[in-house]
Homo-oligomer: A and B are copies of this chain.
Amino acid sequence: MVSSECGNLVVLGLGLIGGSLARAVRENGFCERIIGCGHRAPSLERALELGVIDEYTLDVDSAFRSADIFVICTPTLTASSVLEQLLPQMGADGPVVTDVASVKGSLRDTALRVAGAMPPRLVLAHPIAGSERSGVDASRADLFVKHRVIITPVEGNEPAAVQRVRRMWESTGAEVIDMAVGTHDAVLAATSHLPHVLAYTLVDALAGSSDSEEIFRCAAGGFRDFTRIASSDPTMWRDIALANRDALLAAMDDFSEHLGRLRCAVAEGDGDTLQDTFMRAKEARDAFAEILAQRDQ
């Protein structure tokens, strides 16, 4: 038997992401034992039943003490309270703590506020993977294969702790990249948080209009794809919007400025500006499709 790189891996929060991480590392032997943790016994029982974890506990503090790696896989705002609870216990020789939240600045700020500095073994990370389905029943060992995981190490981080988080994600088949906290939050605001806000806004505006019945009856494939993300979990996206407020506002303002310019072009019948804008966008989108196609090979 190949020896594992890590003894006990604790996964706090066994939803789609936590469950998929647990399945992946259980399959690939990265750690010896996977301990599920959470505040609801039934879903932990379910995870045990599905073979996602080896055991579970409802006691976060004891799970923390037994961990070599402790992964916070709760929703974004809950991750912040969990961190508050754990920060006083994080020492130079305790477990490596990491997370999977969509916003990194808010967690860093929690650490700075509570502990005065980022603990050496707290390494924030964000796997860019998901599904329209949620919950441990939707979890899959291959969810992260060929997906990006962004790690946002900071100066005070212990290199071995960063390396350990990197290895954990690499073991799942993910492509791990480093990024500054601020860059991560700006990039995710642009590519994910803003599109969700736009899709939610569009569907809500149409649902409230007097033509709404005819509107939805006549919508076709383009509308279906464009609005698919408006079916995402409202609570999760509320939390992300609150946690990434400043970067999201900047992205919204930048978008609105561009939309305002396009509005002028439509109002003035300025076909050249419209064509140039649409052409630049098409070129960028086609190039993006190429990146995706190469990644899928």
Chain A positions near chain B (C-beta within 8 angstroms) = 128-130, 147-148, 150, 177, 179, 183, 186-188, 190-192, 194-209, 211-212, 214-235, 237-239, 241-242, 245, 248-249, 252-256, 258-260, 262-263, 266-267, 269, 271, 274-275, 277-289, 291-292
Q: A129-B220, A191-B218, A249-B266 are in contact. List 20 more A-B contacts (CB 8 A).
A: A183-B214, A190-B206, A191-B206, A191-B219, A192-B219, A192-B222, A192-B223, A197-B266, A198-B202, A198-B226, A200-B277, A201-B262, A201-B277, A204-B277, A205-B255, A222-B232, A226-B228, A233-B282, A234-B282, A238-B275
* Nearest CB of B to A132, in Å: 9
Cα A206 to Cα B257 in complex, Å, equals 12
Tell whether, in the assembled complex, residue A187 and residue B230 are in contact, meaning their CB atoms are under 8 Å apart.
Answer: no
Chain B residues in 8 Å Cβ range of A214: 179, 183, 187
Selected from B128, B212, B222, the residue in CB contact (under 8 A) with A196 is B222
Chain B residues in 8 Å Cβ range of A147: 220
Chain B residues in 8 Å Cβ range of A229: 222, 225-226
Chain B residues in 8 Å Cβ range of A283: 207
Chain B residues in 8 Å Cβ range of A192: 219-220, 222-223
Tell whether, in the assembled complex, residue A204 and residue B280 are in contact, meaning their CB atoms are under 8 Å apart.
Answer: yes
Cα A4 to Cα B194 in complex, Å, equals 53
* Nearest CB of B to A1, in Å: 35
